[in-house]
Amino acid sequence: MTRHFLVDDDLTPAEQAEVLELAEQMKADPYGYDTFAGPQSVAVLFDKPSTRTRVSFEAGVAELKGHPMIIDAQASQLGRGESIADTARVLDRQVAAIVWRTGDQSRIQEMADHSSVPVINALTDQFHPCQLLADLLTIKERFGDLAGRTLTYYGDGANNMAASYLLACATAGMHVRIAAPSSLQPDPEVVARAERIAEAQGATILVTDHAEAAAIGADVVVTDTWVSMGQEEGAEERLADLAPYQIDAATLVMAKRNAIVLHCLPAYRGKEITADVLDGPQSAIWDEAENRRHAQKAILHWLVAASRSDETEESDGVGPSDETEKPDDAEALDETEKSDETEGTEESEDVRSGDVD
């Protein structure tokens, strides 16, 4: 069965830990893995502009000895109306994996439904799972562990980053707090999923509109852009609603003394985060940005290996064995042929063994 990475909880807690451990190993030995040796190609499609996602995937695939095919999806036939299903059927005959940054989650789900190679969500309107792998890797590097840590997210609780923090951090056994205005709360279905995961992992989920108290005792304080692409209309109202949720020096006073700050970027100093915090000593943002490459290499390698392993297991035992018993009538026919000397001819060894062109 082909494995895909479309949503953060597509990985079990054990699988997530395995991928993060692999990311640490790849960071220590960036050129030591031949995942796509050949080189095999990886299609990296973009419906939306990108800096970090494009650079990190392009560099990462190359480090895995592969060939990254960067495709502007809107300039391709996909952008002119060719179906996602047909695009998937074409791409999976040419590449070892498909990475796509697109709009609605249903689009990448459809790509995966029709692809025989792994499909990775490089960002949709609903989730950003690759970013969360990078964030978890960064947190693990700083603290040595994830389970039991507390992460507080400030800002638009209805966006893709908040949803991914809920699912990915719950999977890691982390306590998650979402501090957001009542007008921008997370999807209740995502919250419910996160709560189920958190309960199983011994963690907790809190969604609140009380900005002041949300950072108390937090190990990690995170935020995201307040006005994302496509949200320009009504931006002034959004900015007014989100103003109390800015991360500043006062926020960090409430968190633990060794707390770190993360931001997936691009950042707008003076809006969601102040310059002194973004560029300050508690910021791990630049490590976080670098870790996109290592985390994405790990999930690519892991998915390809897992899919190949499943294919091998499915193929085990397929086809007749040399020890397959012959039916009685076939055995009788063999005995007749062995005793028949009237023809004076013999089948060639090639014909008997089936080795014919």
- Among 149, 175, 193, 292, the active-site one is 292
- DSSP secondary structure string, 134-171? HHHHHHHHHHS--TT-EEEEES-TTSHHHHHHHHHHHH
The annotation status of 321 as a binding-site residue, yes or no, is no
Token digits for 253?
A: 């006073």
- Among 8, 10, 92, 101, the active-site one is 101
Cβ pair 48, 231 in contact under 8 A:
no
The annotation status of 177 as a binding-site residue, yes or no, is no
The annotation status of 74 as a binding-site residue, yes or no, is no
The annotation status of 115 as a binding-site residue, yes or no, is no
Distance between CA atoms of residues 263 and 261, nearest Å: 7
292 is catalytic: yes
The annotation status of 159 as a binding-site residue, yes or no, is no
296 is catalytic: no
The annotation status of 265 as a binding-site residue, yes or no, is yes
The annotation status of 129 as a binding-site residue, yes or no, is yes
- Among 126, 175, 177, 264, the active-site one is 264
The annotation status of 54 as a binding-site residue, yes or no, is no
- Among 16, 131, 246, 296, the active-site one is 131
- Among 128, 177, 193, 238, the active-site one is 128
Distance between CA atoms of residues 336 and 342, nearest Å: 12
The annotation status of 300 as a binding-site residue, yes or no, is no
Angle at 273 between CA 268 and CA 279, to 5 degrees: 90
131 is catalytic: yes
Instruction: Return left, alpha or beta for 196; rule: phi > 0 is left, psi -120 to 50 is alpha, else beta.
Output: alpha
The annotation status of 50 as a binding-site residue, yes or no, is yes
The annotation status of 229 as a binding-site residue, yes or no, is yes
128 is catalytic: yes
101 is catalytic: yes
Distance between CA atoms of residues 34 and 343, nearest Å: 59
- Among 125, 224, 293, 301, the active-site one is 224
Distance between CA atoms of residues 117 and 110, nearest Å: 13
Q: Could you tell me the CA-to-CA distances from 150 to 42, 176, 203, 241, 327 in Å, in that order?
A: 36, 6, 9, 25, 67
User: Binding site membership for L-ornithine: which residues?
Assistant: 160, 224, 228-229
User: Binding site membership: which residues?
Assistant: 50-53, 77, 101, 128-131, 160, 224, 228-229, 264-265, 292
Active site residues: 101, 128, 131, 224, 264, 292
User: Binding site membership for carbamoyl phosphate: which residues?
Assistant: 50-53, 77, 101, 128-131, 264-265, 292
